[in-house]
Amino acid sequence: MGDYDNTHLRFIVAESSGAKGLYASGWLSQNYQYNNWNFYSTVGIEYRNEDVVNHFYGISEDGFPRINEIDGLPYYRGKSGFEYTADIPHHF
């Protein structure tokens, strides 16, 4: 983590103990002041490897047969991937 003036930077790299996988993220945010308006913007990227994705979102044929029978959810195994985020809220 780091701060400089009104700019904030954050990097995280972590092993997920439950999924034995990798999570990584990077975020950059900035505060702006214009008269009595305060603007805050942020951009970020997150990465989750296949083990983490399947721990939280995967549906196994053997692991959750009751869910599949009751809700009719199909078998699903995800791949690793990135998630992108951008936000520019304002406050008066």
At 7-60, the pLDDT tens digits run 999 999 998 766 578 999 999 999 888 888 888 899 999 999 998 888 877 777
Give the structural domain span for 87: 2-91
Distance CA 48, CA 28 (A): 19
The pLDDT value recorded for residue 29 is 93
Eight-state DSSP code of residue 45 = E
Q: Rounded to two decimals, what is the model's pTM?
A: 0.70
Instruction: Name the pLDDT band for 5 (thresholds 50, 70, 90).
Output: confident
Residue 65: per-residue pLDDT: 45
Strands 81-87 and 37-48, by their bridges, are: antiparallel
**Number of domains forming the structure of the chain:** 1
